[in-house]
Amino acid sequence: MSLLKPFSKLPGLNTANILLVESEEQFQQSLADVLVEETSVTVNVRLAKSLPLPMENDESRPRIDLVVFIINLTSELSFQSAEASLKYLDPGYFLGKVCFMVTNARSASAPAERLDAVRKLAASLHCPLLFAENQTPDGVASATERLLTILKVAAGLVPIATALYMSNLTRCTLPLDIDQPSFD
């Protein structure tokens, strides 16, 4: 099984590489367009629908510093695709180099159970869970900013901070009453 490994290649100078995985292939494009505008660091964005990644690209692919799973909470397919992709990552990624980003959390067609399931998944893997608004340029910009903060740490470009240390602070935690029925 071809696992994506976090440290099997050399890093680039002042470079950070991010992999955005999204079954619907929509939000990732808007994020990518804003991510590459970052000036202090060279950001390379790789886009994928799901894992595993094609073997043909293994040679040319740079070292991936951060893997982001984008899940649309109104789509079960989106969630299942992300979940199924997890097993193609080397466990080393789960020490601060994986992050979950969800969209449409406020939508009426997003069942609460799905958000709970994503929360439990993120919490069990010790990964941060970010909420993003993908319809407006402002939403895309603020999601990009947050990803860049985590990305720079994961790429080792921030002195003193490491991905593992940061993930201890940012990882998703479950509220104690997550299994209780909600008020609506």
Partner 1 sequence: MGSMDNTVKRLLERLVRRIPSRMLKTTLDKWSRLTATQRQSIDYTESKWALTEKLLAICEENELTVKHIAELEMIYVIENPNLGMWHAFQLMDPQDDAHSVELTQFKEQFKSHLSELIRHVSIKIKKHTDEAVWIRIAWGDTFSRPNHLKPTYVVHYLQTPYVFLSSLTSKQKPLLSQALVLSTRYQAIKDANLSGRKLTAIRDLLMKQYLQVFPTKFPSPLAERNRVVSNLHIEKEQAGSAANRHQMACEAFGDGLLPQLQSAVYKLETKFRDHTNKTMTERDEPFRCVVKFASTNLLESLRHSASSGVASTPVTPLLSSVPLKGKNYFVITDNGPGPSSQMKPSQK
Separation of alpha carbons 77 and 133, rounded Å = 19
Residue 47 interacts with partner 1 (CB under 8 A): yes or no? yes
Cβ-proximal residues to 108 (8 Å cutoff; 6+ apart), any chain: none
For the chain, the distance separating the N- and C-terminal CA atoms, rounded to the nearest angstrom, is 44
Q: Which segment (17-25, 101-109, 161-169, 173-181) binds partner 1 by CB under 8 A?
A: 17-25
Q: Which segment (35-43, 90-98, 148-156, 162-170) binds partner 1 by CB under 8 A?
A: 35-43
Q: Which segment (16-24, 91-99, 102-110, 119-127) binds partner 1 by CB under 8 A?
A: 16-24
Residue 54 interacts with partner 1 (CB under 8 A): yes or no? yes
Please identify which residue in 42, 107, 168, 173 interacts with partner 1, judged by CB under 8 A: 42
Cβ-proximal residues to 112 (8 Å cutoff; 6+ apart), any chain: 182, 184
Please identify which residue in 2, 7, 41, 49 interacts with partner 1, judged by CB under 8 A: 49
Q: Which is nearer to partner 1, 15 or 170 (CB)?
A: 15
Of residues 70 through 99, those in contact with partner 1 by CB under 8 A are: 77
Residue 107 identity (one-letter amino acid): S
Residue 46 interacts with partner 1 (CB under 8 A): yes or no? yes
Point out which residues pair with 138 in neighbouring strands.
none
Residue 107 interacts with partner 1 (CB under 8 A): yes or no? no
- What Cα–Cα distance (Å) separates residue 181 from each residue in 102, 117, 172, 184? 22, 14, 20, 9
Separation of alpha carbons 74 and 55, rounded Å = 31
How buried is 15 (Cβ within 10 angstroms: 0-12 exposed, 13-18 middle, 19+ buried)? Answer: middle
Q: Which is nearer to partner 1, 23 or 167 (CB)?
A: 23
Shortest gap between Cβ of 135 and partner 1 (angstroms)?
19
**Residues in contact with partner 1 by the rule CB under 8 A:** 19, 23-25, 32-33, 36, 42-49, 53-54, 56-57, 61, 77
